[in-house]
Amino acid sequence: MRLGPAGPGHPEEEPTCGPAAMSANPTAIEAHGVYKRFKTGRTHIEVLKRVDFDARHGEVTMVMGPSGSGKSTLVAALSGLLKPDEGQVRALDTDIWGLRSGKLDRFRLDHCGFIFQGFNLFSALTALQQVEIILKHQGHSKSVAREKAALALDEVGLGKRLHQRPAELSGGEKQRVAIARALAKDPRLVFADEPTSALDGENGQIVIRLLQRAAKQHGAAVICVTHDPRLEAYADRIIHLEDGQILEDRRAAEPAQSAADRRPEPALLGA
Ligand SMILES: Nc1ncnc2c1ncn2[C@@H]1O[C@H](COP(=O)(O)OP(=O)(O)OP(=O)(O)O)[C@@H](O)[C@H]1O
Ligand SMILES: [Mg+2]
């Protein structure tokens, strides 16, 4: 199951070597003019103001910005969870909002891994069953699903916790189960919304390293919303959203590009 950057089934991908090659990674998602507003009482609030966005395979793209700036709404629009009022999202060369709902569900099941704050685990299921159920739903036989699920949990360091239920797991372990569940199917696109916010620093680092590995070893495009500046060290690219607009878009270890709002380069811990 574990593939290199250009694993079988993904012939379009080229291995990357070093920062110079990073920008040559193939595009995974391209969005144009994404606009979303919500009705509140008699008025509307514009949450995404015609956002253009792209993300590449093999890279961790972080979306940062203040609370209420539209980060979760953007990720929902990019991942097929929330239809924008205007704009287009091409993901893996598919116009996802042009798909009928059944096809969109299938697209998400086949290609997208989701990791949210709060884990979203089923309380009655063991760690193994949480992962297995998704793989079975995807069409794998029971025995293959079990084998892949056990491997995915082993990869996140939970090989000895397979038969424990969420109530018997720590917060960090629960989040790792959620990550194993998202990554077990080797998704081409990984969407993480505040995946470390409920975790201490050490567990947060484990989680972000796993996401980084999904990008670097498996060639996934990882889009990660975070408030945590410590995670910048793991990003290839950092997009700063404010009031429904992208204010800054830069590659890690490059100076900020926003002319209007040039900020000092933040310390890139460990980079
Ligand atoms: N279903 C909804 N109906 C009305 N307003 C909404 C809805 N969903 C989000 N909003 C509003 O849209 C704005 C952006 O929300 P969003 O969840 O995208 O922000 P965010 O950047 O993810 O914030 P946070 O960092 O707090 O998670 C907020 O002001 C929010 O109140
Ligand atoms: Mg949010």
* Torsion-angle region of 194 (φ positive above 0: left; ψ -120 to 50: alpha; else: beta): left
pLDDT at position 23 is: 55
- Which of 109, 221, 214, 129 is closest to 169 using CA atoms? 129
User: Would you say residue 67 has pLDDT above 60?
Assistant: yes
pLDDT tens digits, residue range 104-131? 999 999 999 999 877 789 999 999 999 9
For residue 13, report the distance from its CA to the centre of ligand 1, in Å: 35
- In the structure, ligand 2 is a single-atom ion and the residues with CB under 5 Å from it are 72
pLDDT band at residue 50, thresholds of 50, 70 and 90? very high
Q: Which of 63, 72, 224 to mutate to test the pocket of ligand 1 (most atoms within 8 A of CB)?
A: 72
DSSP class of 187:
-
- Which of 70, 122, 77, 72 is closest to 104 using CA atoms? 77
Q: Which of 44, 48, 63, 73 to mutate to test the pocket of ligand 1 (most atoms within 8 A of CB)?
A: 73
Average pLDDT of the chain is 85
- State how far the Cα of 153 lies from the Cα of 177, in Å rounded to an integer: 7
Q: Which of 35, 43, 47, 246 to mutate to test the pocket of ligand 1 (most atoms within 8 A of CB)?
A: 47
pLDDT at position 252 is: 85
Closest atom of ligand 1 to 65 CA is 21
Mean pLDDT, residues 193-200: 86
pLDDT at position 245 is: 98
Query: Which domains are assigned to the chain?
Result: 19-121+186-251 (3.40.50.300)
For residue 184, report the distance from its CA to the centre of ligand 1, in Å: 29
pLDDT at position 85 is: 98
Q: Which ligand is nearest to the CA of 46?
A: 1
Tokens read off for 171: 């917060």
User: Would you say residue 166 has pLDDT above 70?
Assistant: yes
For residue 27, report the distance from its CA to the centre of ligand 2, in Å: 24
Mean pLDDT, residues 176-191: 94
In this prediction the pTM is 0.84
pLDDT tens digits, residue range 22-32? 457 999 999 99
Ligand 1: residue whose CA is nearest its atom 18: 70
pLDDT band at residue 178, thresholds of 50, 70 and 90? very high
User: Would you say residue 16 has pLDDT above 80?
Assistant: no
pLDDT at position 228 is: 84
pLDDT band at residue 268, thresholds of 50, 70 and 90? very low
Q: How buried is residue 174: exposed, middle or buried, by Cβ count under 10 Å (0-12/13-18/19+)? A: buried
